[in-house]
Each structure stands twice: as structure tokens, then as C-alpha cells.
Amino acid sequence: MLAVEDIHAYYGQSHVLHGVSLTVGRGEIVSLLGRNGAGKTTTLLTIMGFIAPPSGTVVYDGRDISGWAPFRVSRLGLGFVPQERGIFSSLTVHENLTVAARRGISGEWTLDRIYDLFPRLRERAANRGSQLSGGEQQMLSIARALLLNPALLVLDEPSEGLAPLIVRELIAVLKQVQAAGLPILLVEQNIHAAFALAERHYILSKGQVCYTGTTAELRADEKALHSHLGI
Ligand SMILES: Nc1ncnc2c1ncn2[C@@H]1O[C@H](COP(=O)(O)OP(=O)(O)OP(=O)(O)O)[C@@H](O)[C@H]1O
Ligand SMILES: [Mg+2]
């Protein structure tokens, strides 16, 4: 469904991605792991069109979308939840959701279904984004992406900064999203969340993929966990 092939990326003179390749198949959850500064966010920003790769390709559903503008990538069906969450802090939860619903195409993810998936957001519907806890903000950010009715969900460290109990809730929600048939490209530093959700993993180090394997393979590979992730 998504095939990233040998992409490079630069910030000014600084060469950050050195030929990253990865794939996500239909119905799959794939994780992209790596330490701080490994290039995870840069990879996602390149996929989503915020950074144009000087070389390499991003192919989605058989179409070369490398260098497409973000709004076109998103319209094609890639729903992005950025690391900084990107919710409107001065709007209420309900307003945040209706803005997203209006932007998206209609489909199975309706406002009612979203409130069923995130009961906490229904309770907090009248609260402003700025009044939410970190976990609630993350749920709102994912809810907004789902309302666009994407065909692939791209998440940048959804568990970052969340308490273990909230991470567990998040995992349960994402499992339901996958069960509904939506594939997910998941950037994580929380290995437990990655193992609970994804069946395949890529580890990035210094802008290169240094390991790929299934959950069973990576779980058993103490050397890879230690040298690439410091676990
Ligand atoms: N806007 C920018 N300008 C210059 N360098 C940047 C910029 N954003 C990131 N970098 C650098 O690019 C490299 C990769 O950063 P990136 O944000 O992709 O890493 P990451 O794996 O997402 O890290 P984290 O887990 O901390 O979010 C790092 O060395 C970082 O310092
Ligand atoms: Mg990042």
C-alpha cells in the first residue's frame, strides 16, 4: 500500500536521511523505531509531503507521490497525527472534531462513531483543547485524523509523555482502529506499545534502516534491542 524507496532528506546542508526504504501492506501495523534524532519524524514528514526528497520515491497505492504537497497527500487518504499533536487549543473538543469532519470525505468514521470510540472526548466535548490532559489531546489528535476517513494512518510517537495507564488505553483504541481495517505506520519509542500493536518493525539509526524484523524476531534479538534502542 505504501512503499518508501531509498529516500534522502536534508535540513539545509545537513543530510539527515540516507536512503530509507520501508513498506506498509494492507491491514498491517508497521512500527518505525529509533532513538532521539534517528530520523523518524523526518521520514514521516517526507512521506506526508512536508519535505520534498531530493532523491528516492514515495509510492502510495501504486502512485508515485514523491514531492506532492501535503494537502494532496492527505486528500489521497493518508491521515497524519504529528508528534506535536496539532489540535486547535482555543477551540472546544467538539469544534476540533467538526472542523476535521468537514474537511474529510464522508465514510465510516462519523462523529458518532468517534465519540463511541473515545467516550472521554464525548465527556470533554465542551472543553477547549488547552484544557485537556496530554492523553486526551493525543486521543483528540487521532480522532481528528480518523474523521478525514483515511486509508492509512500515520502516527508520530502517540504514546510520548503519557502515563502507562493512558498508553494502555491508546493501544486498545488503535487495536480497534486496525480491526476496522485501517493500516497504520506507527513511529514509537515505547517498545511495549510497538510490540503490542505492530507485527513488523523497522529500526532507524542515523537516518538509515539498521534493522527490520517481526515482533517475535525483534523480541528475541537482545543484541539489536540493546545496540539500536538502548534497551
Ligand atoms: N527543522 C530542522 N532543522 C535542522 N535539523 C533538524 C530539524 N528537524 C530535525 N533535525 C535534525 O534531523 C535529525 C533527525 O531528526 P528527527 O526529528 O527526524 O528525529 P526523530 O527520530 O523523530 O527524533 P525524536 O524521537 O526525538 O522525535 C536530528 O539530528 C535532528 O536534530
Ligand atoms: Mg520525532
Q: Find the angle CA(221)-CA(226)-CA(231) to the nearest 5 degrees.
A: 105
Look at residues 98, 127, 150 and tell me which one is the last residue of a structural domain: 150
Same domain assignment for residues 137 and 161: no
The domain that contains 168 carries what CATH number? 3.40.50.300
Q: Are residues 158 and 210 in the same domain?
A: yes
Q: Could you write out the three-class secondary structure of 115-170?
A: HHHCHHHHHCCCCEHHHCCHHHHHHHHHHHHHHCCCCEEEEECCCCCCCHHHHHHH
Residue 123 has what pLDDT?
Answer: 97
pLDDT digits (tens, 9 = 90+) for 83-98: 999 999 999 999 999 9
Same domain for 177 and 217, yes or no, is yes
Q: At 146, give phi and psi (nearest 5°).
A: -65, -35
Answer yes or no: do 28 and 7 share one domain.
Answer: yes
pLDDT value for 110 = 95
pTM, two decimal places: 0.96
Task: Tell me, yes or no, whether 58 and 89 share the same domain.
Answer: no
Place of cell 472526548: 121
**Structure confidence at residue 47 (pLDDT):** 98
> Tell me, what's the pLDDT at 105?
83
Q: What is the 34 CA–ligand 2 centroid distance (Å)?
A: 9
The domain boundary, picked from 95, 127, 150, lies at 150
At which residue does the C-alpha cell 539509526 appear?
205
Mean pLDDT computed over 199-222: 98
Nearest-CA residue for ligand 1 atom 6 is 11
Q: Is 3 left (phi over 0), alpha (psi -120 to 50) or beta?
A: beta
How far is the centre of ligand 2, averaged over its atoms, from the C-alpha of 106 (Å)?
Answer: 30
Chain centroid to CA 57: 19
Q: What is the pLDDT of residues 20-55, one digit of tens each?
A: 999 999 999 999 999 999 999 999 999 999 999 999
Q: Is the confidence at residue 106, as pLDDT, over 90?
A: no
Mean pLDDT confidence for 7-29: 97
- Are 61 and 159 in a shared domain? yes
Domain match, 130 and 23 both: no
What is the phi-psi region of residue 56: left when phi exceeds 0, alpha when psi lies from -120 to 50, beta otherwise? left
Q: CA–CA separation, 104 vs 63, rounded Å? A: 21
Nearest ligand 1 atom to alpha carbon 39: 18
The mean pLDDT of 208-218, rounded to a whole number, is 98
Domain count across the chain: 2
pLDDT digits (tens, 9 = 90+) for 153-183: 999 999 999 999 999 999 999 999 999 999 9
In angstroms, how far is CA 2 from the centroid of its own chain?
A: 13
pLDDT, one tens digit per residue, over 114-140 is 999 999 999 999 999 999 999 999 999
Instruction: Answer yes or no: do 158 and 231 share one domain.
Output: yes
109 shares a domain with 42 = no
Q: 161: which residues sit within 8 A by CB, 6+ positions away?
A: 134
Residue 103: pLDDT band (50, 70, 90) is confident
Q: How far is the CA of 112 from the centre of ligand 2 (A)?
A: 31
Which residue's C-alpha comes closest to atom 25 of ligand 1?
Answer: 36
What local confidence, expressed as pLDDT, does residue 225 receive? 97
How high is the pLDDT of residue 100?
93
pLDDT tens-digit series, residues 57-84: 999 999 999 999 999 999 999 999 999 9
Same domain flag for 67 and 103: no
State the cell numbers at 184.
Answer: 497504520
Domain range for 120: 78-150
Mutate to test the pocket of ligand 1, among 10, 11, 209 (most ligand atoms within 8 A of CB): 11
Question: What mean pLDDT, rounded, does the chain reach?
Answer: 96
Residues 157, 146, single domain; the answer is no
Indicate if the pLDDT at residue 208 is higher than 90.
yes
Same domain, 72 and 176: yes
